[in-house]
Amino acid sequence: MKKITLLIPCYNEEASLPALYDRMTQVIGGMPQYEWQLLLVNDGSTDGTLSVLADLRARDPRVCYIDLSRNFGKESAMLAGFDHASGDAVVVMDADLQHPPEVIGQLLEGWEEGYDDVYARRESRGREPLLRRWLSLAYYHLLQHSTRLNVLPNVGDFRLLDRKCIDALKGLRERARNTKGLYAWIGFKKKEITFVQGDRKEGKSSFNIWRLLKLAMDGITSFTTAPLRIATLLGLIVSLGAFFYMCYVLVKTLIMGDPVAGFPTLIVAILFLSGVQLLSIGIIGEYLGRVFIETKERPVYLIREKQGV
């Protein structure tokens, strides 16, 4: 019998978990041809998530959980799940019921057709601030045009991954993780299905704009070095501009005998150049900082307790 792991990272989800468990058991009850593992990763929740998980485990032996030693972030929690999933395929989903368990059947159909990575694209983005939507679309645009990776907008972590993909992802142990980019990087045979994303029922989203920006920076810096070329490009443009301006000033002074009034031009030039330099140093710093973090080779996550894995 083929085994399917449902992998769910949880951070302060005590209010969502009972409803999630109910809906999920209903769905998997309709598919007795598979053996199921419900693998929940408690990502250092500060509420009662862990005791809810322990309760569920006491009731149902298909439930397994990993308790991380602190909050490592969703990306790291998912790697912990990949490391401990024992299924022939793994379905990754959110705990807040924004990813409807009813779609799992469709994901499995794609898998049975022979696809390795069946991902669910949301048809509508649900309720969301306009700025967040724009930034998100701009980010995908940038990533798609500066890399050869097809990182798709409106596609998240809700997907089914074959064992081949899980083993590939387990090999990618980088600390500044952007799993969405990694799914694109590993390749394999992909299939798209669509679903309607619901709104979060309980609790609140833990991804504010800063956390999303950090994730986006991690995505850009781990998949493309194009921003580093910006410094070179800006340097070239500024030098060329300065050269032509020099010619102009020279001609003006020699032929027309017009003395150059210095201060405004000088201050503008200095400020502009300082800005360009700081920007370039900042971009280099972003990459250097990540090199620093990677060279320490710390583990991506630490486990406090495991049950059933």
List interacting residues with Mg ion (CB under 5 A).
94, 96, 98, 200
Structure tokens given for 116 = 């390795």
**77 lies in the binding site for ligand UDP (CB under 6 A):** yes
CB of 72 to ligand UDP, least distance (A): 7
Distance in angstroms (rounded) separating the CA atoms of residues 119 and 224: 23
C-alpha 96, offset from chain centre: 17
Residue 96 binds to ligand UDP (criterion: CB under 6 A): yes
CB-wise, 112 or 128, nearer to Mg ion? Answer: 128
**Residue 13 CB, nearest distance to Mg ion (Å)?**
10
75 binds, among Mg ion, ligand UDP, none (CB under 5 to 8 A by kind): none
Report CA 244 to chain centroid distance, whole Å: 44
Residue 115 or 119: which CB sits closer to ligand UDP?
A: 119
Closer residue to ligand UDP, CB minimum distance, 105 or 198: 198
Applying CB under 6 A, which of residues 4, 36, 67, 74 lies at the interface with ligand UDP? 74
List the one residue from 5, 6, 13, 79 that touches ligand UDP (CB under 6 A).
Answer: 13
Question: Which one, 24 or 149, has the nearer CB to Mg ion?
Answer: 24
Query: Which among 92, 89, 58 is positioned nearest to 77, based on CA atoms?
Result: 92
What does 265 interact with, of Mg ion, ligand UDP, none (CB < 5 to 8 A by kind)? Answer: none
Residues of this chain, 190-249, that bind ligand UDP according to CB under 6 A = 200, 205-207
Does residue number 101 form part of the binding site for ligand UDP (CB under 6 A)?
A: no
| Residue 106 binds: one of Mg ion, ligand UDP, none (C-beta under 5 to 8 A by kind) | none
Q: Which residues from 28-47 bind ligand UDP, rule CB under 6 A?
A: 43
Q: Which of ligand UDP, Mg ion, none is residue 9 near (CB under 5 to 8 Å by kind)?
A: ligand UDP
SS (H, E, C) the chain: CCEEEEEEEECCCCCCHHHHHHHHHHHHHCCCCCEEEEEEEECCCCCCHHHHHHHHHHHCCCEEEEEECCCCCHHHHHHHHHHHCCCCEEEECCCCCCCCHHHHHHHHHHHHCCCCEEEEEECCCCCCCHHHHHHHHHHHHHHHHHCCCCCCCCEEEEEEEEHHHHHHHHCCCCCCCCHHHHHHHHCCCEEEEEECCCCCCCCCCCCCHHHHHHHHHHHHHHHCCHHHHHHHHHHHHHHHHHHHHHHHHHHHHHHHCCCCCCHHHHHHHHHHHHHHHHHHHHHHHHHHHHHHHHHCCCCCCCEEEEECC
Phi first, then psi: what are they for 154, rounded to 5°?
65, 15
Q: Is 110 in the site for ligand UDP (CB under 6 A)?
A: no
Task: Give dist(CA 260, CA 253) in Å, integer.
Answer: 7
- Applying CB under 6 A, among 95, 104, 149, 169 the residue interacting with ligand UDP is 95
67 contacts ligand UDP (rule: CB under 6 A): no
Q: Among 39, 56, 73, 118, which residue sits at the site for ligand UDP (rule: CB under 6 A)?
A: 73
Residue 11 touches ligand UDP, criterion: CB under 6 A? yes
Min CB(206)–Mg ion separation in Å: 8
Partner from Mg ion, ligand UDP, none contacting 207, C-beta within 5 to 8 A by type:
ligand UDP
Site residues for ligand UDP per CB under 6 A: 9-11, 13, 43, 71, 73-74, 77, 94-96, 98, 200, 205-207
